[in-house]
């Protein structure tokens, strides 16, 4: 049985997940959480961008890698809280996950250790719709769309 607690790590707290997910929705949820944890770990540690490649479509991976290359050496500290609002599994190849991403506790540091946090892009609560597609035998992130800023609420 998948629970919010079983999906959480020290820095990445899943505060809630929808109840009564079917097998396909649960598979999509687990794949999304794995992808999200791996990509956030890249920003936390400033390393490991290659770990995200098998979890993303080629186009989205190249976009992530480009962003990573621009800020190489930057790290993020703090705790991320994620509330999964809904998992939509439209068929066996296309799904979406709706989350509230609470980044208000995060602080970004440049390569020299200076705080360079931007409240417009990092420190807030964001409602995000993530599209997952089934490709090469695994669910991969293919698109992420921020729907709102500081409007959603993360369950306690």
d(CA 70, CA 150): 26
Which pLDDT score, from 0 to 100, does residue 38 have? Answer: 97
Query: What is residue 1's predicted lDDT score, i.e. its pLDDT?
Result: 84
Distance in angstroms (rounded) separating the CA atoms of residues 91 and 67: 31
95 Ramachandran zone, left/alpha/beta (phi>0; psi -120 to 50): beta
pLDDT tens figures, 73-98: 899 999 999 999 999 999 999 999 99
Considering the segment(s) 12-149 as one domain, its CATH architecture is Roll (3.10)
For residue 84, count other CB atoms closer than 10 A to its CB: 22
Run means of pLDDT, 10 residues per run, the chain, 156 residues:
94 96 97 97 94 97 94 90 97 97 93 86 91 96 95 82
For residue 156, what pLDDT is reported?
64
Separation between Cα atoms, residue 120 and residue 116, nearest integer Å: 12
Residue 141 CA to residue 131 CA, distance in Å, equals: 6
Task: Kindly report the pTM of this predicted structure.
Answer: 0.94
* Number of alpha helices (DSSP H) and beta strands (DSSP E) in the chain: 2, 7
- pLDDT for 72: 82
């Amino acid at each position: 049985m998948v629970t919010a607690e079983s999906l959480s790590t020290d820095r990445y707290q899943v505060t809630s997940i929808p109840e009564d997910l079917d097998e396909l929705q649960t598979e999509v949820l687990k794949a999304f959480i794995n992808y999200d944890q791996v990509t956030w770990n890249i920003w936390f540690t400033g390393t490991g961008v290659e770990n995200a490649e098998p979890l993303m479509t080629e186009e989205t991976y190249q976009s992530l890698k480009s962003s990573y290359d621009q800020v190489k050496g930057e790290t993020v500290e703090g705790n991320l809280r994620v509330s999964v609002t809904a998992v939509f599994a439209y068929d066996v190849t296309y799904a979406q996950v709706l989350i509230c991403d609470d980044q208000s506790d995060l602080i970004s540091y440049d390569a020299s250790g200076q705080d360079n946090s931007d409240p417009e892009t990092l420190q807030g609560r964001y409602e995000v719709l993530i599209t997952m597609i089934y490709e090469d035998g695994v669910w991969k992130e293919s698109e992420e769309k921020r729907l709102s800023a500081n409007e959603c609420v993360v369950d306690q």
